[in-house]
Amino acid sequence: MKRATAPGKVSANLYAQLIQKLFLNRFRPGRETVQFERTDIENTARELGIRVPKNLGDLIYSFRYRVELPEAIRRLAPAGRHWIIRPAGRSQYSFVAVATAVLAPNPILAETKIPDATPGIIDMYALGDEQALLAKLRYNRLVDVFTALTCYPLQSHLRTSVAGVGQLETDEVYVGIDKRGVHYVLPVQAKGGRDHISTVQIEQDVAMCRAKFPALVCLPLAAQFMGDGLIAMFSFESTMAGQTGQPRLIAEKHYRLAPPEAVAPADLAAYQKRAVEA
């Protein structure tokens, strides 16, 4: 017996049908940008004879950060490119063909053990999502360790609007200072579970920094749970590269949160050797 879709909800399969039809209605061979508006989602749903999604933003969010676009869309990308969905103003979006759509941790990168300072009660009730990851970043000072800056959490879940981009949300914003007295703003995107790091979010964080903190040096960051206490951290240039205007990755490190007794003398000797070779 087929399970009925709950009122106001659209299944993942219907999401795929909807985004595919929306794209194919507007795509023309040779195009690297395909624009649409929120109202186009409603019109396409009616054209297909399916329920209009109650939360139109969830459809966009799903294909930007959680799941791949349908194969019928992916195969129409120019060679070596991938489609992403960028905001293009209030309630406006664009499919754009870019070199890199998502970022995954390098599986062969060396890891560094960090004595885990996460309070036990946090570990007891952590859900394994981005909120738990943000807590571990804070309690273990991983932003400071990764960037070699002295950093302070400024605001969680910053929701704002930026001209030319529209509404956006940054998981956490830090401010920092270096040994020369230079001030930094560090937007952080945290990913746990099945979400992935999207280059679109890094682009939005850069736009947010330029609009809200123009006097500070912007250093965009991202963090990803890899499982078993391992956390990948990434930093990006705040200037966009190439015709597609994508951020460039400048550093990636993997940190394993471990009990203090698990950080052995051999580990410390290896880290000292890295410091000498750096």
Amino acid at 100: T
pLDDT at 86 over 50: yes
Please indicate, yes or no, whether residues 117 and 42 belong to a single structural domain of this protein. Answer: no
Domain at 67, CATH number: 1.10.10
- Of 54, 74, 98, which marks where a domain is finished? 98
Please indicate, yes or no, whether residues 125 and 260 belong to a single structural domain of this protein. Answer: yes
Mean pLDDT on 162-167: 81
Over the stretch 22-46, which tens digit does the pLDDT of each residue have? 999 999 998 899 999 989 999 999 9
Please indicate, yes or no, whether residues 190 and 126 belong to a single structural domain of this protein. Answer: yes
In a domain, 3, yes or no: no
Q: Which of 61-65, 98-102, 259-263 has the highest mean pLDDT?
A: 259-263
259: tokens are 């009990």
Residue 6 has what pLDDT? 38
- Of 72, 98, 124, which marks where a domain is finished? 98
pLDDT at 277 over 90: no
56: tokens are 């139109």
In a domain, 106, yes or no: no
Task: Tell which residue, 43, 187, 80, 191, has the closest CA to residue 131.
Answer: 191
Contact 112, 255 (CB under 8 A): yes
Residue 126 has what pLDDT? 80
pLDDT at 245 over 90: no
pLDDT at 2 over 80: no
Please indicate, yes or no, whether residues 244 and 221 belong to a single structural domain of this protein. Answer: yes
- Of 29, 63, 98, which marks where a domain is finished? 98
In a domain, 92, yes or no: yes
Please indicate, yes or no, whether residues 78 and 192 belong to a single structural domain of this protein. Answer: no
Over the stretch 120-155, which tens digit does the pLDDT of each residue have? 999 888 876 888 999 999 999 999 999 999 999 999
For 39-67, b/e burial (b = at least 16 CB within 10 A) is ebbeebbeeeebbebeeeeebbeebbbee
Amino acid at 71: E
Please indicate, yes or no, whether residues 235 and 137 belong to a single structural domain of this protein. Answer: yes
Please indicate, yes or no, whether residues 120 and 240 belong to a single structural domain of this protein. Answer: yes
In a domain, 233, yes or no: yes
Please indicate, yes or no, whether residues 125 and 161 belong to a single structural domain of this protein. Answer: yes
In a domain, 104, yes or no: no
Percent of the chain with pLDDT over 70: 92
3-state secondary structure of 206: helix
pLDDT at 53 over 90: no
Please indicate, yes or no, whether residues 89 and 146 belong to a single structural domain of this protein. Answer: no
Please indicate, yes or no, whether residues 40 and 160 belong to a single structural domain of this protein. Answer: no
Please indicate, yes or no, whether residues 246 and 141 belong to a single structural domain of this protein. Answer: yes
Please indicate, yes or no, whether residues 32 and 170 belong to a single structural domain of this protein. Answer: no
Average pLDDT in the chain: 87
Percent of the chain with pLDDT over 90: 56
End-to-end, the C-alpha distance of the chain in Å comes to 62
pLDDT at 241 over 60: no
In a domain, 4, yes or no: no
Mean pLDDT on 265-270: 94
Work out how many domains the chain is built from and give that number.
2
Give residue 39's domain range. 12-98
- Alpha carbons 45 and 58: distance in angstroms, whole number: 14
pLDDT at 1 over 80: no
In a domain, 80, yes or no: yes
Q: Pick 47 or 275 by higher pLDDT.
A: 47
In a domain, 6, yes or no: no
